[in-house]
Structures are given as C-alpha cells and as structure tokens.
C-alpha cells in the first residue's frame, strides 16, 4: 500500500481481490495499491482515488511482482484489463496476442481512462472478472492467420528487397569486408552493406532503431552485430517485421509512439517517396493516424494498437471483388507461370516463330513486300535499259546503277508524301474497309521507311556518278568519247568541276545538303531535345527546328524537278519521268494543305471556355465545339497560336468524349513552342477558387469576359482536324486494356468517357432501337492503367477520374488503376506508413491521399505480366484491344506480352501503339 508520506507493500501474495488503501490527507483522496493474481502470476496496480465525492481515479503505477520463489511474470491481459469497456479495436484485444510488455502497456492504457470518467462504486473484482471474460471473447475472434486488409497492405513489410534476401549473408559479409574500417562498419555505410541502396536516410533510421533495441550507442557495428541486424531485417515473420517497424518509429525506445515521433517518421517517409502534398498536410495526417490507433486519447501508440489494426478483417470492397477468380481461372493463372516445354526440333521452332510473326505482322509484311518489289522492279528495269544504252560502252555498269538508283528515288519521292496526307488517311481509315488490310496506324513509320529508301537511292545515284561515271568519262579516249558528244556536247569536258558547276550539279548538291539537314534534325536526339546542355548542337534541337527543316522539302522538290529536266543523257520531255511520278502526289498534298488552311482559318472557329495550369508543366484548355465538328475518341487535332508562331501547327490529342458539348486537350509543355504557349495563358489566369484543381485557372463565358477577368488579352487559337489515330479503333474490341504513361493518358481518357457514355446510353434505350448501335459498339469492359512518377500529375484528370468512379461505382464497366511510380512498392517498409495512411484516409473520406480522387493509387510500376494474366483469365475467348501511349521503352515488353498471351491462351490481344 502506498501513500503520500510513504509506500507500504505486503510481503506475501494477496488473494485476487485483495484491496488495501490509506488516505493521504484524510480529505481529498488516497493512493491505493492492489495486486491481482491469476495462475500464480501477479501484477501490482497503484491508483490515486479522490474521496471528495467526485469518484475520480488516476493510475499511478503498474508493475509486475517478484516473488521469493522466482520472478513474477505478468499473466493474461485479462488480469490487467481496463475498468471501462474498451472499444472493439482497442489495445486490450491486441494485448491478448502480444507479449509481456504489450500486456503491461495495454493494462496501463485502459486503466488510464478512469482518470477522466466518473463511475458508481462497483466491486473491483467484479469489474476485473467482467473485462477478463470480454477480452477473452474478443481475443478469440482475432485471427492472426487471416489475410486482412491492413496486413495485406503491409504484406511483406520488406526492409530488404528480394534480391538482397536471396543473396544471403555471404554477400553481405563480402560487402562488410569491403566497406568496414578496422573491422567496424560506419552508420553511413549500413544501408549499402545490407543491400538497401538508394535510401541512405531511411537505412540510417533502421540502424538507429535496431541499435536502440540492443542498447548500442556507438555509430559503428562489428561484423557479428551486422549479422544480427541483417537476420532480423530478413526475418520473414510478421511479428519481427512489425517490431522492427515499431522500433523505427519509437525514437526514445519507451514502447510508446508519440504524435511527434509519428510525424517525424511520416515526414521522412513522404520525403523518401517524393510526396510533397503529404508533407504539406503532415499534421493533419498524423492526427488521423493517432485518432485511429489511439482511440483513448492517451497521446501515444503502442505495439498492441498497431498489431490489432493490422489484424482486423478488411471490409468487402469493389477492389477485392474484382480480383476474385474462379478455381479454373486460378489454375490457368498458375499454369501461365510455367515456362513452355522446349521443342527439340530447331526447324519446328523456327516454323512456329515464323507463323507467330506472320500472324501479328501480316499487314506490314505485305505492304513492305510490295514496296520492296516495286523498288526492285524499277531498279532492274532501268538497269537493263541502260545496259543497252550507248553510254554503257564508256561508263559501264556504273551508269546502270546510277540510273537504277535515280528511278527508285523518283518513286519514293512521290510515295513519301502519301503517308502524311492526313485528311486522306483519316478518310480511308474511317470511311472504307481498307483498314482491314492496310496498316494505317503505321503511316508515320512507313513515311520513315520510304525516307530511308530515298536516302539509299540518292546514295546509289550520287556516289556512282561522282566516283565512277564522271572519272571514266573524263579519261575516255577520243574514239570512245565520240558517241558521247550527242549527250555532253562537241567539246571534251575540261575537268571534273564542270559537272558540279552545271545546273544538274548545283541542284543535286542543294538537294543532298537540305536532305541531310532534314534527316539529322528529325532524329529523336534533336527532335525531342535529348542533347546534353554542353553540346554546341543543342541550339539546333527541339520541335521547332524539326518543323522548319522539314518544310525545306519545298525547295528540295523544286530542285528535284529541275534536276530531272536538265538531264545529260535524256532531254526528250516525254521520256523525262520525274514530273510524271510527282504530279499526282504533289497535287494531292497541296490540295490537303490548302483545305486545312481554309478550314482552320474560317470554317473551324473555337472559343476558349476554360484554362487550367497544372503541376508538371501541363495546361488544360476547354474550347467550344464548332458546329458540325465530329470526331472519335483517340483522334487528335492540330493547333496554331499566332502569338507564338503564325506558321507552326502542333498535334494534340482530344481528351473530351464525342458526347461532350466542348473540346478539351491537355498539353505537356516541354519544348520551346509549348513553353511559350503556356506562358501566354498564364498571364490571363488567376489562382483557383476553393475546391478547384490546378495552380492557375480561368473560366470564361466569352472572350470579353475572359480578358476582363484575367487582366489580359486572350490568345487566339486555330484548330485543324480531327485526324485519325490508332486509338480510334477501340470500338471493335470486346475488352480494352488501356495503358498510359504520364501525359500519354490523354487519348485514353477520352476513350474511358466514351465507353461509359455508350454503355449508359445502351442501357437506357430499348433493345429494338439500339441493336444497330450495339453491333457497331462492341466494348463492354475497360481496364485503365495510368502510371506517373509525380503525384501532382493526378490533378490533370482528377475531375474525369471522380466522374467515372461516381458513374460506375460498382466497377462493372471501367476499372481504374492509378500508379505513382515515385513511391516504393507496396510491401516495402519505406512505404508502409503511407499504405496505412492511405487506407485510413480512404475509409474515412473516400478520397485517396495521393491522387486526391476517389480512385485508390497503387505504388510503383505494375507487373505487366500479372496484368495480362488477369485479363486473359477474366475474358477467355474474347478479343482484347491493348492501346498504349507513353515511353517507347515499354513498347517492346507490352507488344511481346500481347503476342505471348495471344498464342498461349484463348484470349486474343491486339497491340496498338500511339505515335507522337
């Protein structure tokens, strides 16, 4: 028994309900100490009880009792349970499954609630027995084997990646020998030694947590200590990982996580994962976690609280329902992991590979074969013709090769214009059935291939003339030269430069130089501005230089026609075939350019209605839809802003759906033109109102109102289009797998909205009236994956995401998956606190803490093979259109997976890559 003047203890163990007290002052209250017994295990609880009628009770101390026969061990949590009813997720329930320290802390936490609650006098033993029975019942319902929501979210809680664990201690020991100084490993090198590379600050926090646990104060470790640390970090057990995580947050090792400690670790976690928005609201999110894990407002979190949260069953949700498979699908999922048996016959393997290749590329194969055949036929025809020509006696096969190369150049110079006749391609794609046999989606790639054919033809023509034909002609004897006078004049050619100074030579040099400039600046290094800062050629990079250099083709074609007319050998006009090759393609292309100019400057006018500037240098523009303007999701338009450049037109995908009453586009500002474009609109924008997204925005009812509201003149935009793109073919597929990286989500957002609009319209219409529309629109399921490395990117389409999530709340039509790749993958300890915060915030407000939308954000990149497996199992025997827009590096993997799963499953995947 204890009092204010001293403390008195009993020498022997009292009965379970023993209760002794002494008043401290005779008025205000007393301090009472009691010991409880259960199966020869004891704990002593000291309380301060006020006797002034208020009935207030305060916990003074809780400790276990050491008996003469040996150390006393705290019994079950029921012996130290609270005097008040704990909540279902309180610490008492978790203490039942925890250790000694968890039980002590759980008892103290719940007894602490007495201090602020007034109770009627109830026998203490009765309260203890009641709470003991309740806690036993609750602990019996707490199943540590079940895969729960939080436990699933923290599945793995890996402090080391799988590669580091697989390597084992041997590799860690080798790194220790290399990094250690005089047999000791410095704290700063701990992460590198155990294989946690790239998170030095986080590794240092783990070092401190493990050191505190063992009472190590030095900033160095021996090899034995490093091994002990590594073994704990690589322990696959849930309890070991949970304890390590708790110790990392518990800075002072008192077994309690205060709000300040939690805030510090949450700040570190957000910084390591590059989540600035969480840093801005770290106080709010810290309070949210404390509210969940500290329901009794004790001001701290204990291990038992954290454990009980992780082991609570996850509520049923759309996401869990969507990933459920039948047993047959699960079997198929497992079988996909197995590598196919290797065929011993090399011939059969080659034949099968050829069949697979032809199945996926037969359109490209026949077009390329036809193109090569035409080039070969033209070359052979001209080669044979000059084999019988009088000049052959002097120049030999050189003139045959030169003329053969010239003939293919004429053909390719005419053909190269057709793939860039955008209106014609769009019409053929949309209004005819040629798309079933012609790969219109590869028009730009074919344009590049033909450009390569032009380069080969020019090289054959120019090199053989300059190095073979002309030298042989200069050194020909008088008798041999006699037949050449009809072509080169009566006088002998004085020197080599005579060929260069003539019209043929000057025009040839002009064409070669301008082609070389255009080819060079069209290379991705220049066109996309990938040259380093110190490179002197960087000033020639960017889309502007590409655009202007490509329009030098006007001079090239003029020189080409002149060069073809002023021939040395053939001066008969109807035998000069250059103009015959070029006439129709040039007229078609010129007509297209004229039509585009008329349409954009007069027939298609737009009024800007809304502008928003977003993080990541993205600008979104909403425009009025011109009368009669019809387009399909996935198509794009060309935009001209005269205040930036009166001549430049740049393509941007339409992000609005065809059913919307406006046009919208989202532009990522990287180059010189788009940067200037964004700066213009920034001048007429203002900070957003409450509840609006974006850094700056402006909403206009008219151009006049826009100018007055924004404080400046609104830039004028001209649009040209729409033009066809690979994504517009989505309607012919049963299922869509849409994959966008960064700003590459723009064509896919429009598709998502259009699919939802069409399916909603079909549901509202009568079957008899919608049969034709249903036959045209086949899509009934959409999987949308959007990956971005910046959390601010989610603001670009926040409104669209929320709209889709609201209209398709059950996820029966559109399944949205947002991935933030700057965050470490789920299961990594560096994102564990974020996963917990995300789950709590989404459960409370229905809004994702990372994206700010109703769509939950996943961390790190998706496992694309698992994505394809899931789609294949859910849609057996159906056609899946895979539409990808983003970084070129991912294209080979997605194309290969589409081919693999098409060949190995009953699901047919058709891959489409958007070209920019």
Q: Which of the 8 DSSP states describes residue 312? A: S
Q: What is the pLDDT of residues 185-213, one digit of tens each?
A: 888 888 888 877 666 777 888 888 888 88
Q: What is the predicted pLDDT for the residue at 64?
A: 55
Q: What is the predicted pLDDT for the residue at 584?
A: 93
Q: What is the predicted pLDDT for the residue at 498?
A: 79
| Model confidence band, residue 333 (pLDDT cutoffs 50, 70, 90) | low
**Beta bridge partners of residue 42, listed in sequence order:** 37
Distance (Å) of CA 287 to CA 252, 392, 660, 837? 20, 91, 42, 11
768: Cα separation from own chain's centroid:
42
- In whole angstroms, give the CA distance from residue 912 to residue 880: 11
**Beta bridge partners of residue 896, listed in sequence order:** none
- In whole angstroms, give the CA distance from residue 813 to residue 793: 24
- In whole angstroms, give the CA distance from residue 265 to residue 206: 11
Q: Which residue has the higher pLDDT, 618 or 366?
A: 366
Widest CA span of the chain, in angstroms?
143
Q: In what helix (H) or strand (E) does residue 723 lie, and over which residues does it extend?
A: strand 717-723
CB 80 within 8 A of CB 96: no
Query: Sheet containing 696-699: which strands, arranged edge to edge?
Result: 662-668, 618-624, 608-614, 696-699
| Model confidence band, residue 89 (pLDDT cutoffs 50, 70, 90) | very low
Q: What is the predicted pLDDT for the residue at 827?
A: 64
CB 260 within 8 A of CB 222: no
| Model confidence band, residue 383 (pLDDT cutoffs 50, 70, 90) | very high
What does the DSSP assignment read for 284-304?
A: HHHHHHHHHH-TT--SEE-HH
Q: Which of the 8 DSSP states describes residue 812? A: S
Q: What is the predicted pLDDT for the residue at 372?
A: 96
CB 651 within 8 A of CB 916: yes
Range from 87-91, 306-310, 422-426, 531-535 carrying the lowest mean pLDDT: 87-91
Percent of the chain with pLDDT over 90: 11
- In whole angstroms, give the CA distance from residue 869 to residue 141: 36
CB 408 within 8 A of CB 453: yes
Q: In what helix (H) or strand (E) does residue 417 lie, and over which residues does it extend?
A: none
The backbone torsions φ and ψ at residue 473, rounded to the nearest 5 degrees and listed phi first, read: -70, -40
89: Cα separation from own chain's centroid:
36
Residues 6+ apart with CB under 8 A from 254: none
| Model confidence band, residue 57 (pLDDT cutoffs 50, 70, 90) | low
325 by DSSP, 3-state: which? coil
CB 213 within 8 A of CB 253: yes
The pLDDT of 848-870, averaged and rounded, is 85
Q: Render the burial of 732-743: b for 16+ CB within 10 Å, e for the rest.
A: ebbbbbbbbbbb
Instruction: Tell me the HSE value of 826 on the side-chain side, using a 13 A CA sphere.
Output: 21
The pLDDT of 544-569, averaged and rounded, is 86
Q: Which residue has the higher pLDDT, 578 or 26?
A: 578
CB 775 within 8 A of CB 717: no
Q: In what helix (H) or strand (E) does residue 715 lie, and over which residues does it extend?
A: none
Q: Give strand ranges (E) for 78-229.
A: 185-186, 220-221
What sign has the CA pseudo-torsion 474, 478, 482, 486?
positive
**Beta bridge partners of residue 63, listed in sequence order:** 44
Helix-strand-coil percent breakdown of the chain, rounded to 5? 55, 15, 30
- Residue 567 pLDDT > 60: yes
All domains in the chain, ordered by first residue: 150-249 (1.10.238.10), 364-501+570-598 (no CATH), 602-724 (2.40.30.10), 725-762+776-821+861-915 (3.40.50.80)
Q: In what helix (H) or strand (E) does residue 653 lie, and over which residues does it extend?
A: strand 650-653
What's the chain's Rg over C-alpha atoms? Answer: 38
**Beta bridge partners of residue 912, listed in sequence order:** 883
- In whole angstroms, give the CA distance from residue 474 to residue 492: 8
The pLDDT of 660-670, averaged and rounded, is 86
Average pLDDT of the chain, as a whole number: 74
The pLDDT of 516-531, averaged and rounded, is 84
The pLDDT of 700-713, averaged and rounded, is 50
Among residues 482, 461, 336, which one has the least CA distance to residue 404?
461
Structure tokens at 435: 């798309």
Q: Which range is most confident: 78-87, 297-306, 699-708?
A: 297-306
What does the DSSP assignment read for 58-75?
A: EEEEEEE--BTTB-----
- In whole angstroms, give the CA distance from residue 529 to residue 543: 8
- Residue 273 pLDDT > 60: yes
**Beta bridge partners of residue 667, listed in sequence order:** 619
CB 871 within 8 A of CB 911: no
CB 275 within 8 A of CB 231: no
- Residue 607 pLDDT > 90: no
- In whole angstroms, give the CA distance from residue 845 to residue 856: 12
Q: What is the predicted pLDDT for the residue at 161?
A: 60
- In whole angstroms, give the CA distance from residue 134 to residue 81: 10
| Model confidence band, residue 407 (pLDDT cutoffs 50, 70, 90) | very high
CB 892 within 8 A of CB 884: no
Among residues 99, 103, 100, which one has the least CA distance to residue 77?
103
Q: Which residue has the higher pLDDT, 609 or 446?
A: 446
- In whole angstroms, give the CA distance from residue 769 to residue 40: 81
- In whole angstroms, give the CA distance from residue 84 to residue 596: 79
CB 268 within 8 A of CB 199: no
CB 800 within 8 A of CB 749: yes
CB 235 within 8 A of CB 241: yes
Range from 18-27, 310-319, 468-477 carrying the lowest mean pLDDT: 18-27
Range from 377-391, 507-521, 666-680 carrying the lowest mean pLDDT: 666-680
Q: Which range is most confident: 37-41, 228-232, 372-376?
A: 372-376
- In whole angstroms, give the CA distance from residue 270 to residue 278: 6
| Model confidence band, residue 906 (pLDDT cutoffs 50, 70, 90) | confident
For residue 33, count other CB atoms closer than 10 A to its CB.
21
For residue 669, count other CB atoms closer than 10 A to its CB.
18
- If you search the block for the tokens 């809004």, which residue do you land on? 847
For residue 843, count other CB atoms closer than 10 A to its CB.
12
| Model confidence band, residue 297 (pLDDT cutoffs 50, 70, 90) | confident
- Can you say whether residue 75 is alpha, beta or left, with left for phi > 0 and alpha for psi between -120 and 50 degrees? beta
The pLDDT of 451-455, averaged and rounded, is 94
Q: What is the pLDDT of residues 161-180, one digit of tens each?
A: 666 666 678 888 888 888 88
- In whole angstroms, give the CA distance from residue 760 to residue 42: 67
Q: What is the predicted pLDDT for the residue at 436?
A: 83
The pLDDT of 333-346, averaged and rounded, is 56
| Model confidence band, residue 696 (pLDDT cutoffs 50, 70, 90) | low
Range from 75-84, 321-330, 571-580, 723-732 carrying the lowest mean pLDDT: 75-84
| Model confidence band, residue 769 (pLDDT cutoffs 50, 70, 90) | very low
Q: Which of the 8 DSSP states describes residue 88? A: T
* Omega cis (within 30) before 722: yes
Burial of 785 (0-12, 13-18, 19+ CB in 10 A): buried
Residues in the chain: 916
Distance (Å) of CA 174 to CA 178, 182, 223, 227, 270? 6, 15, 11, 12, 32
Range from 185-199, 604-618, 707-721, 805-819 carrying the lowest mean pLDDT: 707-721
The pLDDT of 86-97, averaged and rounded, is 40
**Beta bridge partners of residue 158, listed in sequence order:** 828
CB 302 within 8 A of CB 255: yes
For residue 875, count other CB atoms closer than 10 A to its CB.
20
Q: What is the pLDDT of residues 276-293, one digit of tens each?
A: 888 888 888 888 888 887
- In whole angstroms, give the CA distance from residue 791 to residue 615: 9
């Amino acid at each position: 028994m204890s009092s204010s003047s001293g403390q008195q203890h009993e020498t022997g163990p009292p009965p379970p309900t023993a209760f002794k007290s002494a008043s401290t002052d005779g008025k205000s209250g007393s301090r009472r100490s009691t010991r409880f017994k259960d199966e020869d295990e004891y704990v002593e609880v000291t309380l301060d009880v006020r006797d002034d009628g208020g009935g207030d009770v305060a916990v003074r101390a809780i400790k276990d009792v050491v008996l003469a026969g040996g150390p006393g061990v705290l019994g079950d949590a029921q012996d130290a349970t609270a005097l008040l009813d704990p909540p279902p997720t309180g610490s008492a329930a978790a203490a039942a499954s925890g250790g000694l320290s968890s039980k002590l802390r759980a008892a103290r936490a719940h007894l602490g609630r007495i201090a602020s609650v007034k109770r009627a006098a109830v026998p203490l033993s009765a309260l203890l027995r009641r709470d003991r029975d309740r806690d036993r019942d609750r602990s019996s319902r707490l199943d540590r084997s079940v895969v729960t929501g939080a436990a699933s979210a923290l599945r793995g809680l890996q402090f080391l990646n799988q590669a580091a664990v697989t390597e084992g201690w041997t590799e860690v020991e080798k790194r220790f020998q290399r990094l250690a100084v005089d047999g000791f490993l410095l704290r700063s090198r701990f992460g590198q030694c155990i294989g946690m590379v790239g998170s030095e600050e986080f590794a240092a926090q783990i070092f401190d947590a493990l050191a505190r646990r063992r009472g190590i104060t030095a900033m160095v470790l021996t090899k034995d200590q490093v091994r002990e640390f590594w073994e704990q970090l690589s322990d696959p057990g849930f309890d070991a990982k949970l304890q390590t995580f708790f110790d990392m947050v518990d800075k002072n090792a008192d077994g309690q996580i205060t709000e300040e400690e939690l805030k510090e670790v949450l700040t570190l976690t957000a910084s390591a994962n590059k989540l600035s928005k969480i840093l801005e609201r770290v106080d709010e999110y810290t309070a949210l976690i404390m509210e969940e894990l500290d329901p009794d407002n004790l001001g701290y979190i204990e291990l038992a609280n954290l454990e009980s949260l992780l082991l609570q069953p996850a509520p049923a949700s759309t996401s869990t329902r969507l990933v459920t498979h039948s047993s047959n699908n699960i079997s198929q999922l497992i079988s996909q992991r197995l590598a196919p048996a290797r065929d011993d016959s090399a011939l059969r393997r080659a034949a099968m590979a050829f069949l697979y290749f032809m199945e996926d590329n037969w359109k490209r194969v026949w077009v390329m074969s036809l193109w090569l055949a035409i080039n070969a036929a033209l070359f052979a025809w001209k080669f044979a013709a000059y084999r019988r020509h009088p000049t052959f006696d002097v120049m030999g096969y050189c003139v045959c090769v030169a003329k053969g190369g010239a003939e293919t150049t004429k053909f390719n110079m005419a053909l190269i214009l057709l793939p860039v006749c955008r209106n014609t391609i769009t019409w053929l794609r949309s209004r005819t059935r040629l798309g079933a046999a012609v790969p219109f989606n590869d028009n730009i790639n074919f344009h590049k291939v033909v450009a390569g054919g032009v380069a080969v033809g020019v090289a054959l023509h120019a090199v053989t003339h300059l190095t073979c034909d002309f030298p042989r002609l200069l050194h020909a004897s008088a008798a041999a030269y006699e037949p050449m006078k009809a072509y080169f004049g009566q006088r002998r050619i004085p020197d080599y430069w005579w060929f260069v100074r003539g019209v043929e030579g000057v025009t040839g040099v002009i064409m070669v130089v301008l082609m070389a400039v255009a080819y060079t600046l069209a290379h991705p290094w220049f066109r996309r501005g990938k040259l380093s800062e110190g490179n002197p050629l960087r000033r020639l990079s960017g889309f502007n230089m590409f655009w202007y250099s490509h329009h030098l083709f006007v001079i090239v074609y003029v020189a080409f026609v002149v060069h073809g007319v002023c021939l040395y050998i053939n001066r008969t006009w109807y035998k000069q075939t250059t103009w015959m090759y070029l006439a129709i393609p040039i007229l078609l292309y010129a007509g297209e350019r004229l039509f585009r100019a008329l349409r954009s400057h007069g027939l298609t006018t737009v009024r800007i209605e809304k502008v928003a500037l977003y993080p990541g240098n993205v600008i979104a523009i909403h425009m009025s839809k011109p009368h009669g303007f019809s387009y399909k999701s996935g198509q794009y338009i060309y935009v001209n802003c005269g205040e930036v450049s009166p001549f430049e037109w740049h393509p941007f995908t339409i992000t609005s759906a065809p059913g919307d009453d406006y046009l919208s586009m989202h532009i990522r500002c990287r180059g010189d033109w788009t940067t200037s474009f964004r700066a213009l609109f920034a001048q007429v924008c203002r900070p957003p109102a409450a509840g609006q997204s974006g850094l700056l925005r402006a909403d206009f009812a008219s151009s006049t109102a826009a100018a007055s509201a924004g404080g400046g003149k609104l830039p004028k935009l001209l649009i040209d289009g729409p033009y066809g793109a690979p994504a517009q073919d989505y309607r012919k597929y049963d299922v869509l797998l849409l994959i966008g990286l960064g700003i590459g989500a723009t064509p896919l957002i429009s598709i998502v909205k259009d699919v939802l609009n069409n399916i909603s319209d079909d549901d509202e219409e009568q079957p008899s009236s919608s049969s034709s529309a249903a036959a045209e629109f086949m899509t009934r399921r959409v999987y949308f994956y959007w990956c971005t490395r910046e959390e601010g990117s989610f603001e670009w389409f926040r409104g669209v995401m929320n709209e889709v999530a609201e209209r398709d709340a059950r996820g029966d039509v559109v399944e949205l998956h947002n991935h933030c790749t700057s965050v470490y993958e789920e299961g990594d300890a560096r994102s564990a606190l974020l996963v917990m915060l995300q789950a709590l915030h989404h459960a409370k407000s229905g809004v994702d803490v990372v994206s700010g939308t109703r769509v939950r954000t996943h961390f790190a990149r998706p496992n694309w093979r698992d994505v394809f497996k899931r789609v294949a199992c859910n849609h057996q025997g159906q056609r899946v259109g895979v539409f990808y827009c983003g970084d070129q590096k991912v294209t080979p993997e997605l194309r290969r997976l589409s081919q693999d799963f098409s060949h190995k499953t009953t699901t047919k995947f058709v891959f489409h890559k958007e070209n920019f």
